[in-house]
Structures are given as C-alpha cells and as structure tokens.
Structure 1
C-alpha cells in the first residue's frame, strides 16, 4: 500500500512539473511587416529564450484595424509606423506606454531614438521605439526614364502605359508635394488640407490613363521593372536597393517621404516580458543586420550597418548620401480624422 501511495504521489508531482513547464513556455504574438521577422531570427530567439514567436504579417492600416477591432487584444507586440501612434491612440486607445527601464536603450541610434520618443509621447509617457526606417518615392530605370524625378512625371505622355503606382496615401502625398503643396504643413488646418488632397486626388485620377498597373505587392512591382514592362513607379527605397543589387541602373526620388517602423505594446497584450526580450534581441547589431538583409531597410540599431553585407552597404550609401538624408520629408504624426478625409478622396480616385 505504501509503495502504491508513493507511486501515486510521484506520478502527481511529475504531472505538476509538466504542467508548470507548459505554463511557463511563453509565446510572443508579433504583428509586423513582411521581412522584419525572418525565420532564422525567430528560431535563434526561440533557442536563446525558449519563447515561441507567432508572426502575423500586416501593414499600417491592418495593424490599426486589427487592434481597433479587439480594443488592443490579440497581439503582444506590433510595429506600426511612427506617424500611426498618436492619432489612433487618441481615437481608439489601442496601445499602452512602454517601460523604458526594461529596454537596452544603448542599442538604439540616439537621433532616431529621441525623435521617435518625442513624436510618440502622450501625457508624459513614451509609446514607441524606433526599429527600421526608410523612404518611399519614385524609382526609375535610369536608362529608359532619365527625366522622371517625381510622381508628376509618371503622368507625362512620354511614359504613357509604362508606369505603375498605388491608389494609396503615399501617392496622394507625393502628388501634392510634386505640385508645390505641403500637406504636412497643413495638418492643423483641416480646410486647407482638404483643398490640398482634393487637388492631388484630381491629378491622380487624371493620371490613370497613363498607368500600366496598380501594384499590390513588391514581387509584382519588381518583376515589372525587371522585364521592362514599366520604366518608372511609385515605390519604396527597398525596391531600389534590390534592383540595384541585381545590376540594374536604378534612379531614386531626390525628395522622398520618410517613415520609421516602431515597436509598440498593444493595450491588452499579455506577454510584455517576451516583447521586451524580442526588442533587445533584434536590436543587437548582428541580428539587426540580418533584418537589413532580408528587408533592405535601414535599422535604428547602433552598428548594424557596419556588419551588413557589402553590396547592401554600397546601395545604401549610393541612395542615402548626407545630402539625400537631409532632403527626406519625414511623415509627421497624423491628426485624428485626417485619414478619413484621405480615404474618401482615394475612393473617388479609384471609382473614376
């Protein structure tokens, strides 16, 4: 009888230990962009920490939509752009402030760190840290479209049927700037801003007859540029880097729009500890360099560029000279309600 009791007790202890092990195994639910969480890094993180990472690929609009629908639940770490923090937080309360004492801030490039903190501080609390950064503008096959310098040039008869773009917010902003308007400066003046985006929308609509295709994913854009089907397009700097790396002579916008992808904590995330560990992990230079390679984006990690592949470093240096960096128009925080106005304008463009 005593042996039987000891066996039952031992079995129970083993079961409790197994249950405790399962309970302690954390999962980080990450809502991020394509190529910012490569599988090699996910595996490396799991090996180092024991934490599983569930990656859901998204974009700015989808990130906000998902978190809005759940009140900030369903994910433990998200990566919207820096201009999508203050407005959505004011409207929907979908984020929670960061505890900076739990992050190795020395791993962040000081200028980007301070700029991001300043633009995402609400009531004295910081809501975001910088991760990757880059720009969007117009890229060209320089040999076939040497005179294209802005999105307005995509509407020239000389390139009719050989250009691509998207009916999205970036194209609206680029078109406004190309015709001498400054939409960012009008953020605080709703009527003036409406007039600017109305004019830009009309120009995008008038340009539709010149557009070969409206691209939906990077592979489509890259393949059209490679084949010569198009000679110029609205796109990201990462597209230019990839095509340059393949030996194409690619020109890029001299006045692009700049963005910073961030780290934010969803309001109802349940694995903050795992989130902070992932942030520290991916900001280590050797890991951030792998993200640079997979995404062709710059990172806010100190030293990452020094250990990135030589070909990528050369492309970065070619596009981002000190003068080019000084010419970037960084997206400011979007005030509440502005994107609804833009959405109506873009809907009209799409319907025409």
Structure 2
C-alpha cells in the first residue's frame, strides 16, 4: 500500500463518526461494511451488487484496535458487517458486540479449509462469532544472493555472519512468539509463559537486538533496506518478496520448521443487526466466501480466502503464490493469540529495545 492509499484509508476510517442511523441507506436494502480498503475494491464486489437488490456502503479501517473502539463507542448502531482479526474476536464477544454466525445462511462456509473449521479462535461456547475470511503467513524473507543458505529462526539469535544486516518487526506479540519458537516452547504454553520462560525469552531477545540492523514498522522501509542490501534477512510480510523479485533481485522466502506465524481476518456481524439488514449482511458474507470474490482476491491481492471455493479456478502459479497449492504449510502455523499477561510482554519487549 502506498502513502496515498494509506492516507485514503486513514481518512475513510475516521469517517465512521459521521455515520449514524440517519446516514444509513434504506434499511431494507442497504448495509454498511467496515473493513480494510484492499478487501472492498469495486470490481471485487461488482458481481454481488449486480445480482442483489442491496446497496453497499464501505468505511475503511486503519487498525483492528480502531475498529473495535468505534464499535464499542456506538458504531454497532450503524454498521452491519466488520472484519476483526481471528485473534481479536474475543475482545468483541467479551464486550457483547457480536451475534453468532448463522451457518444456514452461509452455504459457502461448508467449503472452509479444515484448519479454519477446527480452530477454537473466533468461537465462544461452540458458536462462531468471527468466521475466517482470508489469511496468509508472515515468513522469513531474505536476499538469496547475499546469504549462503536458507535461514530459520536461529539466524536471529546465533552466529555472527549477518550481524547488523537483520531486521525484526517492532511488535511485542510477534517478536516474543519468534523467540519462544526458537527456544522450543510449545504452542500450548507459548501464550501463557511463566516468569522462568519469559526470562529465557528476554535473554535471547537481548542477543537478537545486538545482531539487528533495525526494528521495522513500515513494510515500505523494509523493502528499501532489502533493495540496498542494508538488510539481507528479516521477519517480514510477504510483499517485499514479490516486489523485489519483480525487479530482478534474487529473493528467498523461508518457512521455518519450528513454526510460522499465520494470520487470518474474519467476518463478523454486530449484535442488533436484524431483519432485511441481517439477510443482506449474510448474503454478502456468503459471497465473500464464494468463488467469484475468491478468484479476484487471489489474483488482485494476492490473498487466499479461507474456503476452497476459488482454488480450482486458479493456475498452479496463482495457487502457489497464496499458499493453497500445498496446504501442508498450515501444519506449521502458529496462530496469534492474546496472552493474558500481554502487558508484561510489552514491558519486556520495550526493556529489550532500550537495553
């Protein structure tokens, strides 16, 4: 996303305060979807609009926290559909902001990949409140022309060959997860680590800090650091891999056997949406999990939806690009969760950075 798109997203996200019941389209046919701008492109939604007597208004978010704050502040009165992260749904349900998904109204949900059917995230007492929508991975991206071999998480903690040429995202949750994976702490314990385990994490994170070129916040800045060779290896999002390969740079993408951080956003319906609005909202949910939308998202994103609806419509190259050609990649996924002691995690992370 370029700066202009970021600005548009920020401005659109702040616009929700102007929406109230008086600003809603006809309640019988109109719905408002609060989501990420890249998911609601006009061409992605055109087939749905053409096939249904439904008017759709979109308002864009900049962060999940922003979306949650607006809904809790009263946005649920004017919003019919939202897009929370799979790991964030529990915040919404704890504040009684969502209603359960009525799967009878979402036939395409039957095509959810098994990983998303089985996940306990997004659920309360066996009911689903956030249905997995689209997903991806955050791997290790590296300059294959400047590294001797494909790295794993140990590159950020061991050896001296790449000191000063490594980068890590400045995000306590992911940074501590990576340290825990490196230490061999199982996923079942990762988000509830005790003081002894956190002390071990802190020790290796201090070693990591001594090896880093930088902690990154902007994926654009990280891409530039890769391009200049100032950074040769980073925990990253996927875009730098494809962007720099397109420019002729030999890039690699590693998915460490110790675990790969997976991410997934969901579709959720605020509590209080009912009648024709609810019918329209679930019609859109079903479309978003269906083949037409899935193919456009895969080609234009490129992102994978959480169902197999569009998979067979994609070329092998397109399937590989969004990680659905070989679904065994999900076997090593560690999904982000909300640690009960996250305040301690943030304090630990900040102490390491300041050391």
CA drift at 1:232? 1.0
Give the whole-Å Cα distance in 2 for the aligned partners of 1:243 and 1:215.
17
Instruction: Give the corresponding residue for 1:222.
Output: 223
Matched, 1:103 2:106: yes
CA displacement, residues 272-300 of structure 1 (integer Å, 9 cap, x when unaligned): 33321221222221311211233332222
Give the whole-Å Cα distance in 1 for the aligned partners of 2:38 and 2:148.
31
Give the whole-Å Cα distance in 1 for the aligned partners of 2:226 and 2:334.
25
Match of 1:173 among 157, 160, 177: 177
CA drift at 1:31? 2.6
CA drift at 1:263? 1.2
Conservation of the 8 A alpha-carbon contact between 2:31 and 2:79: no
Instruction: Give the corresponding residue for 2:133.
Output: 131
1:293-332 residue pairs with structure 2 within 5 A?
Answer: 293-308=299-314, 311-316=317-322, 321=326, 324-331=329-336
CA drift at 1:171? 1.8
CA drift at 1:235? 1.5
Conservation of the 8 A alpha-carbon contact between 1:163 and 1:212: yes
Judge which range, 166-175 or 193-202, deviates more.
193-202
Give the whole-Å Cα distance in 2 for the aligned partners of 1:197 and 1:66.
33
Instruction: Give the corresponding residue for 1:251.
Output: 253
Conservation of the 8 A alpha-carbon contact between 1:112 and 1:300: no
For 2:39, what is the secondary structure of its paired residue? coil
Give the whole-Å Cα distance in 2 for the aligned partners of 1:64 and 1:162.
37
CA drift at 1:163? 2.2
Conservation of the 8 A alpha-carbon contact between 2:298 and 2:322: no
Matched, 1:273 2:279: yes
Instruction: Describe the shift of the 1:249–1:224 C-alpha distance in structure 2 as closer, same or farther (beyond 3 A).
Output: same
Conservation of the 8 A alpha-carbon contact between 1:238 and 1:295: no
Matched, 1:164 2:195: no
What TM-score, normalized by structure 2, do the two folds share? Answer: 0.76
For 2:346, what is the secondary structure of its paired residue? helix
CA drift at 1:234? 0.8
**Structure 2 alignment gaps of length 5 or more:** 1-24
Give the whole-Å Cα distance in 1 for the aligned partners of 2:280 and 2:352.
43
1:1-352 residue pairs with structure 2 within 5 A?
Answer: 24=28, 26-32=30-36, 35-49=38-52, 50-70=54-74, 75-86=79-90, 88-89=91-92, 91-105=94-108, 108-116=111-119, 118-147=120-149, 149-155=151-157, 156-168=159-171, 169-182=173-186, 184-186=187-189, 190=192, 192-237=193-238, 239-244=240-245, 248-254=250-256, 255-267=259-271, 271-308=277-314, 311-316=317-322, 321=326, 324-331=329-336, 333-334=337-338, 337-352=340-355
Instruction: Describe the shift of the 1:320–1:101 C-alpha distance in structure 2 as closer, same or farther (beyond 3 A).
Output: closer
Give the whole-Å Cα distance in 1 for the aligned partners of 2:313 and 2:97.
36
For 2:236, what is the secondary structure of its paired residue? strand
Judge which range, 274-283 or 216-225, deviates more.
216-225
Structure whose residues are more often helix by fraction: 1
For 1:157, what is the secondary structure of its paired residue? coil
Alignment coverage as a number of residue pairs: 324
Instruction: Describe the shift of the 1:311–1:92 C-alpha distance in structure 2 as closer, same or farther (beyond 3 A).
Output: same
For 1:158, what is the secondary structure of its paired residue? coil
For 2:296, what is the secondary structure of its paired residue? helix
The alignment yields a C-alpha RMSD, in angstroms, of 3.3
Give the whole-Å Cα distance in 2 for the aligned partners of 1:226 and 1:275.
43
Conservation of the 8 A alpha-carbon contact between 2:241 and 2:251: no
For 1:135, what is the secondary structure of its paired residue? strand
Conservation of the 8 A alpha-carbon contact between 1:95 and 1:127: yes
Higher Cα Rg: structure 1 or 2? Answer: 1
CA displacement, residues 301-322 of structure 1 (integer Å, 9 cap, x when unaligned): 32423323554334356x9645
Give the whole-Å Cα distance in 2 for the aligned partners of 1:195 and 1:324.
31
What TM-score, normalized by structure 1, do the two folds share? Answer: 0.77
Instruction: Give the corresponding residue for 1:5.
Output: none
Give the whole-Å Cα distance in 2 for the aligned partners of 1:246 and 1:107.
40
